């Protein structure tokens, strides 16, 4: 069974069509890298998977649950699909540990002690065990983003969605975030990553998707597409990002 299945999904904002009858099937274990010009619908596609945006047409099934099912089912989908944003979005008044423990407490209803223990494990996993009691303002951007990844993982998702996770970071801080993502990929996590990091696409991605105007224009094997982008618009796009 696919972990994510778009069936002719349409998403509009007002009169404007943002996702145009998208068909896309992603199997468990795939590492999909999603690229495309600004405004092509990449963030919207991710946000529909997580039911942060409602779809207007077609159907979208995440781990067997339709995003149209509503209510409790939508909460289940949000547990299955962890999301990491460009701007970290940590709670500033909470320590790293409290940020990471928040999900297990709130979403999974775990005890204070269990949530705390899991949060510590997750912080260790992203290399930040020694920063557990720091506030976001006391952490570098790269560390904050790793806390955000730990926070998403603490809810035990089956799928991770990354929306330009390194775009807000200085170049020298990007690799620590990319390394954590790569380790996660090597453990077998299914992921969809919107990024301009083509080295990541080449080395970690198992599939590269190029979006344009709300449609999937190219879908293939990353190394092959990057070495020989036959689609002229993909070729031009790559000349600008590399």
Cα dist from 3 to 35, 59, 80, 90, 139, whole Å: 20, 14, 10, 27, 34
In angstroms, what is the minimal distance from the CB of 118 to ligand ADP?
Answer: 31
Structure tokens at 45: 């596609």
Q: Which string of b and e fits 109-146 if b means at least 16 CB within 10 Å?
A: ebeeeebbebbbebbebbebeebbebbbeebebbbbbb
C-beta closer to ligand ADP: residue 42 or 151: 42
Residue 38 binds which one of Mg ion, ligand ADP, none, with CB within 5 to 8 A depending on kind? Answer: ligand ADP
Q: Which stretch binds Mg ion (CB under 5 A): 23-31, 42-50, 118-126, 147-155?
A: 42-50
Query: Is there binding between residue 40 and Mg ion (CB under 5 A)?
Result: no
Other CB atoms closer than 10 Å to residue 57's CB: what's the count? 14
Q: Which stretch binds Mg ion (CB under 5 A): 25-33, 41-49, 64-72, 175-183?
A: 41-49
Which one among 11, 41, 43, 105 touches Mg ion, defined by CB under 5 A? 43
3 state SS of 83: strand
Distance, CA of 211 to CA of 45 (rounded, Å): 10
Cα dist from 167 to 94, 223, 227, whole Å: 24, 22, 24
Q: Which residue is nearest to Mg ion (CB)?
A: 43
Site for ligand ADP, rule CB under 6 A: 13, 18, 36, 38-44
C-beta closer to ligand ADP: residue 43 or 143: 43
Give me the 158-187 binding string for Mg ion, x by CB under 5 A, dash otherwise. Answer: ------------------------------
For Mg ion, the binding residues (CB under 5 A) are 42-43
């Amino acid at each position: 069974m696919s972990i994510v299945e778009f069936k002719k999904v349409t998403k509009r904002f007002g009169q404007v069509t943002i996702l145009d009858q998208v068909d896309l099937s992603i199997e468990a274990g795939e590492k999909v890298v999603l690229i495309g010009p600004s405004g092509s619908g990449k963030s919207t596609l991710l946000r529909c998977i997580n039911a942060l945006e409602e779809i207007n047409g077609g159907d979208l099934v995440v781990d067997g649950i339709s995003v149209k099912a509503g209510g409790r089912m939508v909460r289940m989908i949000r547990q299955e699909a962890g999301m990491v944003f460009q701007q970290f979005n940590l709670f500033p008044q909470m320590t790293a540990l409290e940020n990471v423990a928040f999900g297990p407490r709130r979403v999974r209803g775990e005890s204070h002690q269990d949530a705390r223990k899991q949060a510590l494990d997750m912080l260790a996993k992203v290399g930040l065990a020694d920063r557990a009691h720091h506030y976001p303002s006391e952490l570098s951007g790269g560390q904050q983003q790793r806390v955000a990844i730990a926070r998403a993982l603490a809810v035990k998702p089956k799928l991770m969605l990354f929306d330009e996770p390194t775009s807000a970071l200085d170049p020298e801080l990007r690799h620590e975030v990319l390394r954590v993502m790569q380790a996660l990929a090597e453990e077998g996590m299914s992921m969809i990553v919107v990024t301009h990091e083509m080295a990541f696409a080449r080395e970690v991605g198992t599939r590269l998707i190029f979006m344009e105007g709300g449609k999937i224009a190219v879908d293939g094997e990353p190394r092959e597409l990057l070495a020989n982008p036959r689609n002229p618009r993909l070729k031009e796009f790559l000349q600008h990002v590399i």
